[in-house]
Structure 1
Amino acid sequence: MWSFIKVLKLILATLALVARGIAAAGAAESCTSSQSTDTAQTLAFFKASEHDLLTQTSEGAIHIAPLQTDGKPEIYLSKYTVETVPDTMVQGLVFNSLTIKSDLPSTDAVDHKVVEKMFRALGAVHAATFTLVRLNVAGAEESADPPALGPGIDPPRLLKVHTKNLVLRSIGEASAGWVLARLDLSESELVVIHLYNAETITTLQFLDKANPKAVAGLYVWRAEVLASIECALLRRQAIQDVFELSGAAAPVSASPETLQAIATKPWDRLALTGELWSQVASKICHPFAVRYLTIAVEFVAELDSFWDARPEEKPSVNHLKLSLNNSHSKPKSAMKEDDLLEWSSACFMNTKTIMFVEPGPRITTHL
């Protein structure tokens, strides 16, 4: 009897092991099937935009190579609908550059449902440069933030982005805010934000939707109608090294708090309009250093009063560039090269080079 009980226990233990083995095999088969589906869906997704991902073959199965460092894939939104964007894709792919763009005319809005589903499916993007082009989203102003999951719960961010360079090109401020509210930049350290072709942006307030871990620089280019640089990144001195504004045609302002924040931290590169620089200079009250300073000035006679201003304390500027513009072909400033050098000497210290740039040859002076 005792021997029978021992045999019975052994049989039961063996059956349990077999059952666990069958369950594990089933789970592995299910996992393999899921991985295979994600691989096929991911390859098809990128193929729709005419980009072939690098693949590897192992034990007869095709896998997507984790490092996608060849080429610069561009995802064209016109190639997709809500139905053709997969629910899931292979995660953890690493790119040198990845772009999502609308190839429709800039006046045509893109379907927010397609963009949101694409963000969810991608899940996480690892790219040295992540670029979004002409994502002018339908209904962006009415649905700036994703719906909250409940009272006191922050809205979900759909796409985790690991990048050093976030580029927004030809995107209006409402759509830019909509996009930034759906990107999770919390693990992107020392990211540089580039706003290219920012012709329709009037304020930088939409940048408050971003949640980067740390920002190394902010570039704003071709900001023709920008009226205010007001944003938390500047006001809280969250930008570490670079702030460059170029192409601003309208008067640009900022709050006293933001001007004070700019004027009380060191910069590697700082580029401002003449009017904005005058406002910043008025806030300098202790040593202030910039390695490369660019000031864009309307070099016309009616604005020659700009050259009369002097800061109470000279900032340290190693390399000064004066961009002397005449956007509306008005009578030119009476300032000559010697006058500009005298002004520079009166306003800055520790200056090694001064460059004057206006239509025609550049003039560079090494001091």
Structure 2
Amino acid sequence: MQLKRLWFDINPVAKRQWQALLTQAGLMADEQVDYTIGLYDGDNLVATGSLYQNIIKCVAVATTETHQNLLAPLIKALLDRLDEQQQSHAFVYTKPCTAPYFEALGFKAVVATTHVVLLERGYPDLNAYQLLLDQRKVTSANAGAIVMNANPFTNGHLQLIQTALATCDVVYVFVVSEDRSQFDTQARLTMVQQAVADQSRVIVLPTNHYLVANATFPAYFLKDQADLAVAKEQAQLDATLFLRKISPILDIHHRFVGDEPFSPVTKVYNDQLAQVLTGQLQLTVVPRLTVDAQPVSATQVRQALAANDWATVKQLVPATSYHYLKGSQPHANS
């Protein structure tokens, strides 16, 4: 057996072998990876595993081979790579049948669906995140939740929060923590906090690695380039994690989302939320705010900013976001 790194862009044969092996193992050939290795028996690829940042994924062993014998060197090589990159916390995204092998290596299950298990090893972990949530909890018989990227925060986001406040005593607004948007994590968090500063019933929280994150729902950040079949599986995992591991900590009974006329991936997410939460939590889909008969979106705001069209920006975002955006672009004209 020989362990090799696979370079898809220069070796199309290896890529086809990789895709075939994953398909044989019942896995999606998710190409959102940045490091892939394979075990070869002669010219035959018999096992593979990949990394995307600190996430081990696309782990597969040929049905003709013994899993335990091949998984051990494969996973060791991936963990060594993470050690080289000084990653003290790692996730594994895998099938339920292979989860026990990772548990034997010190990984703990975070959440599972019928088809996928997410495990983690290291710190800070899910327990640390749940402790953070518990510390921010406000006792309420009727708590709601919203998850948003807010890239940037718009009047549409504000309307979504106001709609939730009309129904719930307290609303937890989770702002996506992954730094994969035009506005960085801190900027987006700040805009949300400024917009709701006068609302004592709104609690703004980070998602860390556990909601709409690289580990749970990486397809979200690909938008139009995402494989919708992969996105569906990931969205189901993300929704299940919210239902089982986050909503009980904060005693959340109601989830709010905006309807989605633009992004197929976000629509998939809303559809999976509806399926997972049915009979467990109430899901309310709020119609999009419109301006001049057009649904308001963060994409519109980014386009207006790129065109230096501050009149349009002012129409689409609350005053707090407008001033923040102006302040972050000191040479912009009014």
Higher relative contact order (CA 8 A, sep 6+): 2
Normalized against structure 1, the TM-score is what? 0.28
Higher share of residues assigned helix? 2
**Higher-Rg member (1/2):** 1
